[in-house]
Amino acid sequence: MSRHRVERLGQRGDGLVETPEGVRHVPKVLAGELVDLAGGRLLRVIEASPERVPAFCPHHEACGGCKFQHWDEEHYRAWKHEQVRLVLAAQGLTPDLAPLVDAHGAGRRRVSFHVRRIEGSWRAGFMEQKSHDLVPLDHCPVLVPVLQEGPALAASFGPLLGDCDVALTAAQNGIDVAVKAERKATDKRGPALSALFHEQKILRLAVNGDVFAMAAPPVVRMGAAAVALPVQSFLQATEAGESELARLVMDSRPRKARTVVDLFCGLGTFALRLAAHMPVTAFDSDRAAIDAMVKATRMTQGLRPVLATVRNLFNAPLTVQELKGFDWAVLDPPRAGAEAQCRMLAQSAVKHVTYVSCDPQSFARDAKILAEQGFSLRHVTPVDQFKWTAHTEVVGIFSRK
């Protein structure tokens, strides 16, 4: 056991503590606090920061799901905002930086629980931070109300499928469940799984990627369209987050833009909203998502044409020639960013780019590529969809100088 002062918080939100053995990254502490450590493990806070507040979840101290419930709102928000500024500044970018937008809303509509057997009982929860030890949960208050008792639902698959991960999605018309397990949904287990499916009133149950049972396709709304969710397809974590990101994209629409390309379009988060105003050309590597978007377009009145193509934009980005004719590009890539595609955009004749990113680091890297080839990063808005974590999303608006 050793006593140390927390110097500051690192980029991932852990406290940085200088010890004779080197810098320790300690979770759930705040800058300036005096703490007792055993190695890099927090034993207790001796002198608490005035910014510390009681966590609203009884599992917060052990659970690795949330990082910042113990930090007051004002300083938490200021830290997130400053992290975005620092990441951009490191690439020489100094755009107008808007205040952090709170996009938690009613809570997260997607969650994945680990299910393990503990002392003879099947329990579900999240792993302890920096550990493979499960923290069993009875409820999770950061989820939408219909999923807050989700740990019990997830744990009910343990006796049938053994150790597994259970992903729950709150669709507009019910709960979608996707289980990844070592055991298969064999004929022997079929009757028990069917009984569980009906007992829990699950909308759709998939096991290891295959649909086992479905009462109705899970549906979410994107603008005027109703989209049937493919199994475990990407969906923004909160409804409020999707609405805020979509609002920022739509507000960034150049007044004179007549043609738009939506890159990494997914299920059509932006394409289906853009199509209410203009024709859309869209690309994504997820065939199931593309098919769902196309079907939703056909079923929705009043939309302009949407031309959607399956394409891996990491390996085969749209070329300068293919980008010819587009006034505006919208991007929403995965965490790795869109470096290859941004190199093509930088050399193209596209005049306006709106870039939605779930990782400020990869965004800043790609933004620098665009800036070096004549784009100006005019405005960046940080969006806090994953509240109480170190993750921040950003929406950047670029135009030719």
* Cα 329 from Cα 349, distance rounded (Å): 11
* Cα 114 from Cα 182, distance rounded (Å): 13
What are the catalytic residues?
Answer: 358
As assigned by CATH, the class of the 2-52 domain is: mainly beta
**Cα dihedral angle (109, 115, 120, 121), rounded to 10 degrees?**
10
Q: Do domains 2-52 and 110-219 have the same CATH topology?
A: yes
Q: What is the pLDDT of residue 258?
A: 94
The terminus-to-terminus CA distance of the chain in angstroms comes to 57
Total-model pTM: 0.95
184: CB partners within 8 A, 6+ apart: 207, 208
- From the candidate CATH numbers 3.40.50.150, 3.40.605.10, 3.90.79.10, 3.40.720.10, the one assigned to the domain spanning 77-104+235-400: 3.40.50.150
**Per-residue H/E/C for the chain:** CEEEECCEECCCCCEEEEECCEEEEECCCCCCCEEEEECCEEEEEEECCCCECCCCCCCCCCECCCCCCCECHHHHHHHHHHHHHHHHHHCCCCCEECCCEECCCCCECEEEEEEEEECCEEEEEEEECCCCCEEECCCCCCECHHHCCHHHHHHCCHHHHCCEEEEEEEECCEEEEEEEECCCCCCCCHHHHHHHHHHCCCCEEEECCEEEEECCCCEEEECCEEEECCCCCCCCCCHHHHHHHHHHHHHCCCCCCCCEEEECCCCCCCHHHHCCCCCEEEEECCHHHHHHHHHHHHHCCCCCCEEEEECCCCCCCCCHHHHCCCCEEEECCCCCCCHHHHHHHHHCCCCEEEEEECCHHHHHHHHHHHHHCCEEEEEEEEEECCCCCCCCEEEEEEEEC
* Cα 68 from Cα 356, distance rounded (Å): 24
Q: What is the pLDDT of residue 399?
A: 97
* Cα 339 from Cα 313, distance rounded (Å): 10
CA 205 centroid distance within chain: 22
b/e sequence 355-384, b meaning 16+ C-beta within 10 Å? bbbbbbebbbbbbbbbbeeebebebbbbbb
User: Which parts of the chain sit beneath pLDDT 50?
Assistant: none
Q: What is the pLDDT of residue 186?
A: 86
- From the candidate CATH numbers 3.40.50.300, 3.30.470.10, 2.40.50.1070, 1.10.3720.10, the one assigned to the domain spanning 110-219: 2.40.50.1070
Q: Dump pLDDT digits (tens) for 5-50.
A: 999 999 999 999 988 888 989 999 999 999 998 877 888 999 999 9
Say if residue 221 is exposed, middle or buried (CB neighbours under 10 Å; 0-12, 13-18, 19+). Answer: middle
* Residue 332 CB neighbour total at 10 angstroms: 25
Dihedral pair phi/psi, residue 194, rounded to 5°: -65, -40
Q: Where are the domains of the chain?
A: 2-52, 77-104+235-400, 110-219
**Cα dihedral angle (362, 367, 368, 372), rounded to 10 degrees?**
150
135 contacts 80 by C-beta, under 8 angstroms: no
Q: Dump pLDDT digits (tens) for 252-285.
A: 999 999 999 999 999 999 999 999 999 999 999 9
Q: Dump pLDDT digits (tens) for 279-310.
A: 999 999 999 999 999 999 999 999 999 999 99
* Cα 340 from Cα 392, distance rounded (Å): 23
